[in-house]
A and B are shown apart, each in its own frame.
Chain A
Amino acid sequence: MGSAQGNRKFLKTLVLILAGGTGAELSVLTRHRAKTAVPFGGRYRVIDFCLSNCVHSGLHEIAVLAQYSPKSLIDHIGMGKPWDLDRKTGGVYILQPTHNGEAATWYLGTADALYQNIDLVRNSKADTILVLSGDQIYVMDYRLLLQEHLEKGKAVTIAIKEVQASQRSRFGMVRCSRDGIVTAFREKPAASTFRFASLGIYVFRRDFLLDALGPGKTNIVFDIVMPMLKRREVAGFTFEGYWEDIGSIKSYYRASLQLLRNRLLITDPDWPIFTLGSELAPARCGAGSRVSDSIVADGCTVKGRVSGSILFPGVTIDKGAVVRDSIVLPYSRIGSGARVTRAILDKFVVIGNEARVGGAGKRRGAKAGERAATRPGDETDGIAVLGRGARVAPGATVGPGALVEPHERVGSRRPR
């Protein structure tokens, strides 16, 4: 008993998950829900991935810092039962900005969110603070990251991953020396010779973090990490697995359909992704159905044809309907003879019989009877996106790249 404790140093880790972003880039999908609560992969929510990573890595003290549309997140996480996080010690809790008796504000940025919850860090017995983003899809054993942090002994360790030159403008790019020390950091550079992207996954030494946080420090990268570069106190942990940030409709669509090729992400028996399950009956593939190259959740009824698509629980595809390369969120219904191609349908969307939604076209922004893109993120790269509860009348058309707001009605009802 003593030997294990005598020979090895243990880290006691508190996890803080940043989940406060508005996710404006996700357009109609985040009008009513937090970005981290966006459904993903047929039965999950985006945040399930980092929560599952935590419990598989033996981390059981987790605070989720939320502020935008937190109800979706609270409903989903609850007291953490699906992750076995309903515990006597530790567990998961959701923290929103509160009035602390002095001046109260919303979380002004990532570092401010940590600062507003500094008592949590102060009162914790943890010696290490792991800060994660709740809006990323990846499977990572944080024990390896924490081990690296322990061995390098720096104030901060950040997870980094090599990305192709064409992708570098999307990320914070870092230069990493041969001995694993991060020496330079450029946020979303137009072009960069740095090969590694920061993944937004940080490990902090507790005493360092308590010192570094403070009023006016709003951003983790600019205000906490960058000042430490010169002192060579930032270590890099190279991650080689699949990692995708759900930062736009385009990346959401891409990451979703990549699952069809990369299914081990959700089917690995040694690393199951836990979620709040649905209680629906098994999926029903009707007599005339054809389903191929797709992910289909419980409670779906498929009588038409589905290929290259992801169907969430309770989706109905009627006879003669054809769904291709699309993502259909829970309880949506696609009427008979309708065609849905390259589209994302949020929950409770109804597509009338014989309607046409999306298409292979690459038209950017929106048209086809809907409004043009006006808000950030309303660039959909040709993917038609229909908000929660939208209805498309029988025979109506929603063009490629169109955006339909939640509960909007498209087309007039015509007698059949």
Chain B
Amino acid sequence: MCDQKKTDNKEEQQKDLAEAMQEKSSRRSFLKGLSIGAAAVSATLVTGCVPSADAATNEELRLRWQEYFKKNYRLMTQEEKDQTVSRLERLATLREGLEVQIGSEPPVKKVLYGYAFNITRCEGFMECVAACIKENNLDRKTNTQYIRIFEMEPGKLDPSEGDGKFFHEVPVENKFYMGTQCFHCENAPCTKACPTKATWREPDGIVVVDYDWCIGCRYCQAACPYFGRRFNWGKPEVPKEEVNVKQHYLGNRLRPKGKMEKCTFCIQRTRKGRLPACVEACPTGSRVFGNLLDPDSEIRYVLKHKKVFRMKEELGTEPKFWYFID
């Protein structure tokens, strides 16, 4: 039975290869054929028996092979971006049975995103954290959270001195609440630490990660002075019915295992003019988000009229995340 399949499969592969050779067109089509052969061979080695090489498996292997040879996102043309996006969408369907829509929207011109957090208003309800988990398809198994809320003693302004594990009725008298997340530094130390240039600052100020170029070395996590990055030790586990299918290549798409991830200011939303999920979920209006380059934006109003400060400003990282008081 097994042998029969093996020979069948081999014949099929050879046919594919022959076809590819006959095309004589591009290196890509040759690789495509080669990939199927190579994948089949490796599968034989692993299992000792060739799996039933139906069309779906063949397609998945081909797509995965092509994914291995794609460029860094920053070097891709729009056409190549569209191709990888459609491959990833198809792979999600083949592997997880999900109909996802992965976007590759470019940054909006003349926009630099900025964020402000009102430490007088936040009452620690943690709606933002819950919304972030849902929006960004965060791992439910290890409880990955991009946002942390700290319960702070009056007079303290360093979250490391606060309580980040509180779970009791909030707000507590004479305490205040302070949220942290990735601050999207203008002069981001994490991007300089990356050996594969898999993380960078986009023109609209968002610091992003190309999950497929990340090798999981976690240098960036060590370089970040704000504990803004999260590492997934396993593939994020999200119940199928809870997956947010509106995704972005640099944002909330389902990450592979062993990648660095972090807040992206909900790139899949903000590049379409929408507010990040945390801002939309906040029941107290402590979170202000907007375009720093627009003198009429809310964030600029806060910077102009409120007492603002940033965390560890003396490091010169220039985070685009301000705390303010009423």
Partners in one complex: no
Listed in ascending order, the chain A residues whose CB lies under 8 Å from chain B are none
Listed in ascending order, the chain B residues whose CB lies under 8 Å from chain A are none
